[in-house]
Structure 1
């Protein structure tokens, strides 16, 4: 049975640089490398072969990036830009585009490029769907099916956040044992993880799906209790979905005591009696 290799597109406007990059990556035989020397070919190949990753080593990498974006506004293939010391230029990168940078000279030393590439590719495989994860609810689905979809979305998001946190902690452990150039790369990855981990879009997406299933719940709750914070409302949504303390603990990455404490504070804000159950009370909104 043949194994299908993922494609990595390598572009450079000098044959010497291209040869050096290919030589450095020769041990990565689990990938297929496609090369190009012209910007127009990079643009065309990025569309036709849909590579998993792109390596650029042009004298003007910014021009290549701009060309890719002008051809496709939704371009999202991750890239690594190699820049020589004499040609170094601060790249202007669109916010949701994943671009790593590395010194060409450093990359060609020892196995630095391979090590960096394997780390980046592993990170991408773990996080490639974090910021774009969506669950579309087809028309005609029963409410209970929609609720299952929403629960699955929430739990999948929790798993992705947990993976990001583990990667971030591992990077911190490695940070003290590497040279300055690698430290810069590691911090770039950590910052990317932080942005993905705290992306408000996750909460916005969750609210969109939740309100499709529970219309007016948040509106009624906010109108009745204007003092509720965004975090309070998030807890209320989870309780409305019949999530247990353990479910909420996993999603928010906190301990059960913190969950219980916040639920107690919610009861105080809602002026509920001690014997009143918060979960049951929330079920009365927009039901």
Structure 2
């Protein structure tokens, strides 16, 4: 196995390991190696140097401390899946690159593969841009922006999911209340619709996206001046390798709308039938 194609997954329960592996079925071209003991994680990370380590322990901090104790200059990127009971912020050394995500949100809500793919794309991009440096050395320059971009994407996704649940609950209550209460409930629903389309979230997302992908939107607009603001938003999400399902959730639309818009984007960009829009945007230089 080639070292840059290995991902190490560590967890203290076989159930969690199985759930993580199932969530990563769409992450192709990588070999997954699993471990349940700290000593195994240290030994495997030493022998094969995986491109990424995913941790899902009851105490991720203990695993991080063990890795640092073994190697003070530990630089392999980590993704820590945090359990509900894990309240404290992780303490990490400056040279380490650590991403965090809720286990429940990532695995149980099927968002883990998108986050992992985004991290892998960042690793690949950073490695290609400067092969003489480690990923950690390069990532330290834009790590905060990258994590903020992921955070805004996940927060927006979570926000829409919560608002959708509230709307469903309002629908259930609507049929059993008087006219005055119905009017108040409809006012809440209209407020939710306005909030779901809040431009501030997009502006913040765009700012962090452009820090990581400078000139991508500018060059894309110059190359295809026919693209609308909505088109450019889709291109950003596809550049991040978001799935159709992720885009659907973030924009609050159905799968068919996502597919239709991607088809129209291909036509505007005059791409050949065999060309994949997602791959085209990801390989497009900034």
Q: Tell which structure's C-alpha radius of gyration is larger.
A: 1
The bucket for the TM-score relative to the shorter chain is: 0.3 to 0.5
State the TM-score, normalizing by the size of structure 1: 0.47
